[in-house]
């Protein structure tokens, strides 16, 4: 039996078994500008989440053996899009990320980065889907037998395979200290940290994550937004800002902007998630 748990729209925990949504918890957010703009979701409700998640399963095979793994660049601006650009421009060799049915894995192709990360975020737990292993390369999956999610162990696997310029997506503050130690232990390896899925983290977690990242997305986090607005070297976006903490992070954002033709005009009153958590 294939079981997957995704912390999805509005921080609702969604359980999927064998290609069907079987449970949706109460959302903590009422509104997300991204889902309003792209999916017409004016208010986040359990039914709206249920319908959207089942649509994703039926549309591109989320959490199933039919998962469509590749996606073209649609010239938008998000973490997956930035990472895809960095791979395409040979700035990084690989991304340590998370995919349903695989858990933590190493990805080296831009269309796979986009197709995996751009379609599904907030994966909390997953179980093996062997049909995906051949497409992604079994050796690139941290633990195929369990589909374990452990980003720092994923970095170790990438280093073991000889990669020297590694990007990693993280959500947990506890990973930051481990990544710092990995950087010390491997001075010949560049590790770039992208902080994602930040809604509802604590003030302390936000501080740790921002201090250790190259790039962070605001999501609905009031604390990441507070820190980012004060300290970001470059910020892109208003509704869901993406912040750069380091010069490398700033360069990464600028590379993506160049790819898509620059920033959009600023809005006077941008829509933001409600509430900020």
In this prediction, residue 264 carries a pLDDT of 87
Percentage of residues of the chain with pLDDT beyond 90: 95
In this prediction, residue 68 carries a pLDDT of 98
What are the phi and psi torsion angles at 236 (to 5°)?
A: -125, 130
Per the confidence metrics, is the pTM higher than 0.75?
Answer: yes
Mean pLDDT of the chain: 97
Domain ranges of the chain: 1-64, 69-260
Tally the residues of the chain: 277
Give the CB-side neighbour count of residue 130, counting CA atoms within 13 A: 2
Burial 108-139 (b: 16+ CB within 10 A, else e): bbbbbbbbbbbbbbbbbbbbbbeebbeebeee
Give the CB-side neighbour count of residue 162, counting CA atoms within 13 A: 1
Distances (CA, A) of 16 to 3, 32, 62, 100, 261: 6, 22, 9, 11, 38
Q: What is the pLDDT along the chain (277 residues), one digit of tens a residue?
A: 789 999 999 999 999 999 999 999 999 999 999 999 988 999 999 999 999 999 999 999 999 999 999 999 877 899 999 999 999 999 999 999 999 999 999 999 999 999 999 999 999 999 999 999 999 999 999 999 999 999 999 999 999 999 999 999 999 999 999 999 999 999 999 999 999 999 999 999 999 999 999 999 999 999 999 999 999 999 999 999 999 999 999 999 999 999 999 998 999 899 999 999 9
Distance between CA atoms of residues 169 and 154, nearest Å: 10
In this prediction, residue 277 carries a pLDDT of 96
155, 106 in Cβ contact below 8 A?
no
106, 96 in Cβ contact below 8 A?
yes
In this prediction, residue 107 carries a pLDDT of 99
């Amino acid at each position: 039996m294939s079981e997957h748990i995704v912390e999805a729209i509005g921080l609702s925990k969604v359980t999927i078994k064998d290609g069907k949504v079987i449970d949706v918890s109460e959302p903590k957010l009422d509104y997300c500008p991204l889902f309003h703009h792209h999916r017409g979701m004016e208010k986040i409700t359990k039914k709206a989440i249920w319908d959207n998640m089942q649509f994703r399963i039926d549309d591109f095979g989320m959490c199933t053996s039919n998962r469509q793994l590749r996606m073209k660049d649609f010239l938008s601006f998000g973490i997956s899009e930035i990472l895809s650009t960095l791979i395409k421009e040979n700035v990084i060799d690989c991304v340590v990320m998370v995919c349903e049915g695989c858990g933590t894995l190493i990805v080296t192709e831009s269309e796979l980065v986009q197709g995996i990360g751009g379609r599904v975020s907030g994966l909390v737990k997953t179980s093996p889907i062997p049909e995906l292993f051949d497409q992604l390369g079994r050796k690139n999956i941290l633990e195929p037998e369990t589909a374990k999610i452990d980003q720092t162990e994923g970095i170790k696997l990438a280093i073991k395979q000889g990669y020297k310029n590694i990007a990693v997506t993280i959500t947990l503050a506890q990973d930051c200290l481990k990544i710092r130690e990995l950087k010390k232990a491997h001075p010949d390896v560049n590790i770039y940290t992208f902080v994602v899925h930040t809604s509802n983290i604590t003030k302390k977690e936000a501080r740790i994550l921002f201090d250790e990242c190259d790039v962070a997305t605001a999501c609905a986090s009031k604390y990441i937004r507070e820190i980012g607005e004060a300290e970001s070297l470059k910020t892109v976006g208003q509704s869901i800002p993406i912040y750069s903490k380091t010069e490398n992070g700033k360069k990464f954002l600028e590379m993506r902007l160049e790819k898509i033709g620059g920033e959009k005009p600023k809005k006077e009153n941008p829509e933001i998630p409600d509430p900020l958590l």
